[in-house]
Structure 1
Amino acid sequence: MSLLRRWFDPIRSSWFYQKPVRQELLSTEHGLSIYLRLDDVYSYLAVQQLIQLNDILNDELKPLKVIISDTAAEPPNEMTAEEWRDYSLRDAQILAHQHRFGFDNEQPEIPNPEAILQAQTILKNTPLKDQNFLYLLEDVFHMLWQQQYGKLRTLYVMASKHQKEQHLPERQFDHTPVLASYFEIGGRKYHAVDDLLRLTRRLKQQKLLTGNPIFLINHIEWREHLMNDAEELSEIQAMSPELDLYIALEDPLSWLLLAYIKEELADYYDIDLTIYPLNYQGRDLFDWSLATRLSKRAGVKFTPFCRPTEESTINMAKLFYSVPEEQRIDAIYEILEAVWSKGKDLSFPTHFNRIRRELNIDHLTNLDVEEKLKENELLCEMKLQPDFPVLELRLDGKSYVFNSLYRVWMIESIFSNVLEQKYKSDNELEQNQEEKLEDE
């Protein structure tokens, strides 16, 4: 690593951390826009929040601009279109269940092309505006995604025969590539579901909302536990939950997630945690200010840091695999903490040797570390996830795979759902036994 980067990164990261959070105001010159695709499942979830959001928008942001695209962006992480479709449908099922969105939980499927064209005609031709248009928009999405094609065709016939295409600035149809629905304001993009709370907090801070935003009703805040009952905790611990975590060592979000899970969840739920470090992914060109805000919200130390290079990640992996297996969770925590909160450069021999002494490593591993990282990456790729870190939770005979800092809440949500199903099954079994005794 260059000497300039080794010294400048910690200074720069300290500056980001110390400056007032969100000091810069978002420009409202172009209002608030939401980008949708009729065949995007995240757009379907997003439109179910628009009426409530529009109702509390300051006049400065009205009318809410709705931009409907007919072009899909390339899937992330080298996924095929089919892999992305399957992933997004499964993920939307989870989000819908957690946050009480309307959704076809039995057999969700992408609307057929003919229905999408009919829906587009309805929305292009309707004279409805503002809140009334948002009601129609939500209804049309429900018809598409719940396969209510008869109702949709009736509306289509009426719209095509009795109405002409409308041209309104707050309602646009274009070819902007959209992978998943997102909001845009002041040149910044916010994922329509994952970033909804972050967006509304920002709007409230700028006094651009007239009421309190109440979205994602079952959202689990950082450092708040969904389960506090001692009996429930004991039952989860007795199930011996296992969590595999695939991390890119140069990715700050991997550090934030690992630290949060280790500090807040692993001991609390007695989770058997296993870490799989990956080959260098080139993820050190991140949004510094966003990562800093996430660290503050998650309560994880994150400054001054020194972004690891590819050489650094190999050395980090050497240290990790040089300690006994039962000590590796503590070891990777110390290694990443040294990088992301103490500004250590592990491609620099002095820093490397200091961490080695702190970890009491007498002999470095003879393992081919680069080959091991490739093996881990192959296992990770088989999970078919669009982002890092990748997590696999095993509990009560079932496996759950998810990804990113945005889904860490799923760990506790899964625990809660498993217990709920267990209690339901136990009650049904007890009732059946009582009925049998009565019959005898």
Structure 2
Amino acid sequence: MSLLRRWFDPLRSSWFYQKPTRQVELSTEQGLTIHLRLDDVYSYLAAQQLPELEEILSDEIKPLKVIISSRTAEPPNNMSKMEWQNYCLNDAKILSKQHRFSFHETPEQPPLEAITQAETILRNTPLRGQDFLYLLEDVFHMLWQKQYGKLRTLHAMASRHHPAQNFPERIFNDAEVLVSYFEFGGRKYHAVDDLLRLTRRLKQQKLLTDNPIFLINHIEWREHLISDAEELNEIQALDPELDLYIALEDPISWLLLAYIKEELANFYNIHLNVYPLSYHGRDLFDWGLATRLSKRTEVKFTPFCRPTQQATYEMAKLFYSVPEERRVEAMYSILQAVWTKGKDLSFRSHFDQIKRDLEINELSTEDIAAKLKQNDILCEMKSQPDFPVLELRIDGQSYVFNSLYRVWMIESIFSNVLEDQYKSENDDSKDEEREM
């Protein structure tokens, strides 16, 4: 690593962390825009919130602009189109259950003919404002609830009675859109995952006329879903196990590992396993996002020295040089040194210091590159679009998810496991009563 980066990164990161993370105001000049695709399942979930959102927007940013694209972007993380499609359908099903969105029990991608009919309906309708958003929601329901008969009828009426309309708040284009997102003040917000962050921003700028209530069962950082002592004991007795696949140069890996270890692992008796991955070039991250996450999770962050490929190799070497039962603690200490003390593990004196701190007498003779590659293969088999990748095992079931946006699933899964157990016990009790 260059001397400039080793010295400049900690100074720059400390300065960035200390400055206000939120601009006083974002520009309202372009209003609020949502980007959708009719064949994007996240757009379907987002469309269910738009009429209510439009209703509480201040006049300053009305009307909500809707841009509907006909073109998707390439799937992330080298996933195939089929892998990405299956992931999205499964993830949307989880989101719909958690936040009570309307969703089909067996969702599938709408056929091209239905997508074309839906676009014609939306192009031709003279409805505007909230009325258009209700129609948009209904059309999405028809597409994703397999109501193709209704869609054909509405398409026939739209084609016969109205020409294509041209309204400035309703645009159709072929810009690449991977998943639905909002745009406000030059910033992008995931349509579902960042909806709470967006509405907090709008409320801060007094651009909402009422309190936004959209994500009903949102789980805040450091607020536990299960606090009842008896229920907590039941989860702990199930010995849950969590595998965490992390890119060592990614600060989100540090923030989530620290949060899970400090806040969830002991609380729920989770056995943690950490699998470091080979270098993925994730040191060019969003500093603002990492800073906001640090403050929300209450996990220390900065001064840091972003690890290079060589540094991540040295980090992995230290990790695999401690006994297996101490490796989670070791990884915590290594990442803590990098992301809160500005240590550069490719710099010999820093490496030797951490080695002493971890009480390592001899470095591992294993092929570290091969170990990292093996972890990469295991991670790729999970077919997830982002890092970190998490696999939770409990009560004979395995659940795979990813990224900071899905950490809430750990506690949600625990809650669902308890609910299923209670339901099973009640069913068994009823069966016994019938036999008597």
TM-score normalized by structure 2? 0.99
Q: CA deviation at 1:25?
A: 2.3
What residue number does 1:328 align with? Answer: 327
5+ residue gaps in structure 2?
none
Equivalence for 2:283:
284
Task: Give, as a single letter, the amino acid of the residue that structure 2 aligns with 1:382.
Answer: M
Letter of the 2:321 counterpart: S
User: Could you say which residue in structure 2 is the equivalent of 1:369?
Assistant: 368
- Which residue number in structure 2 is paired with residue 26 of structure 1? 26
Q: Give the corresponding residue for 2:37.
A: 37
CA RMSD of aligned residues (A): 0.7
Q: Which residue number corresponds to residue 317 of structure 2?
A: 318
> What CA distance in whole angstroms lies between the structure 2 residues aligned with 1:33 and 1:404?
25
What secondary structure sits across from 2:71 in the alignment? coil
2:54 is matched with 54
Q: Hey, what's the Cα distance between the residues in 2 that align with 1:424 and 1:59? A: 48
Distance in 1, Cα, partners of 2:412 & 2:281:
31
In the alignment, the residues of structure 1 paired with residue 343 and residue 57 of structure 2 have an alpha-carbon distance, to the nearest angstrom, of: 45
Residue 222 of structure 1 pairs with residue 228 of structure 2? no
| Structure 2 residue aligned with 1:11 | 11
* 2:358 match: 359
Question: What SS does the corresponding residue of 1:9 show, helix, strand or coil?
Answer: helix
Instruction: Using the TM superposition, give the Cα deviation of residue 205 of structure 1 relative to its aligned residue in structure 2, in angstroms.
Output: 1.3
Aligned letter for 2:21?
V
Residue matched to 1:303: 302
Deviation at 1:92, TM superposition (A): 0.2
Report 1:371-390 matches (<5 A): 371-390=370-389
| 1:67 paired residue number | 67
Q: What is aligned with 1:108? A: 107
> Displacement of 1:264 after TM fit?
0.3
SS of aligned partner of 2:45: helix
1:193 aligned to 2:210?
A: no
Could you tell me how far apart the structure 2 residues matched to 1:205 and 1:369 are?
49
- Measured after TM superposition, the shift of residue 24 of structure 1 is 4.8
Aligned match of 1:391: 390
**Percent of aligned pairs with the same residue?**
72
Aligned to 2:91: 91
Which residue pairs with 2:407 in the alignment? 408
Work out the CA distance in 1 between the residues paired with 2:210 and 2:14: 35
Deviations 1:106-134 (A, max 9, x none): x1101111111111110000000000000
Partner amino acid for 1:137? L
Q: Is the 8 A contact 2:21 2:291 kept in 1?
A: no
The residue number in structure 2 matching 1:260 is: 259
Aligned partners of 1:27 and 1:344: how far apart in 2? 38
Counterpart of 1:199, as a letter, is: L
Q: Within 1, Cα distance between the matches of 2:158 and 2:9?
A: 58
What is the SS of the residue equivalent to 1:308?
coil
| Structure 1 portions without partners, runs of 5+ | none
Q: Secondary structure at the match of 1:175?
A: strand
Q: Distance in 2 between matches of 1:380 and 1:70?
A: 32
Provide the secondary structure at the position in 2 that maps to 1:153: helix
Letter in 2 for 1:213: P
> How many Å apart are 1:55 and its aligned residue?
1.0
Alignment of structure 1 residues 127-138 onto 2, 5 Å: 127-138=126-137
Q: Which residue of 2 aligns with 1:155?
A: 154
Q: Please list the CA deviations of residues 320-341 of structure 1 after superposition, one character each: whole Å capped at 9, or x if unmatched.
A: 0111111111110000000001
CA distance in structure 2 between the partners assigned to 1:124 and 1:390 by the alignment: 40
* Count of aligned positions: 436
Partner of 1:343: 342
In structure 1, C-alpha distance between the alignment counterparts of 2:278 and 2:285, rounded to whole Å: 17
> What is the distance in 1 between the residues matched to 2:61 and 2:20?
25
Counterpart residue identity of residue 45, structure 1? L
- Distance in 2 between the 1:271 and 1:197 partners? 28
Write out aligned runs for 1:193-212 (5 A): 193-212=192-211
Aligned equivalent of 2:76: 76
State the distance in 2 between where 1:347 and 1:215 align: 46
- The superposition leaves residues 17-64 of structure 1 with CA deviations (integer Å, 9 ceiling, x where unpaired) of 111120252111111110000000000000011111111111111110
Q: Deviations over 1:323-364 (max 9, x none)?
A: 111111111000000000111111111111111101100000
Amino acid across the alignment from 1:86:
N
- The residue type paired with residue 52 of structure 2 is Q
Give the Cα–Cα distance (whole angstroms) in 1 for the partners of residues 55 and 5 of structure 2: 48
Deviation at 1:73, TM superposition (A): 0.6
Quote how far apart the aligned CAs of 1:213 are: 1.3
Q: Deviations over 1:406-436 (max 9, x none)?
A: 0000000000001101100100000110110
SS of equivalent residue, structure 1 residue 111: coil
How far the C-alpha of 1:5 sits from its partner, in A, is: 0.5
TM-score, normalised via structure 1 length: 0.98
1:77 alignment partner AA: N
Q: Deviations over 1:389-419 (max 9, x none)?
A: 0000011111100000000000000000011
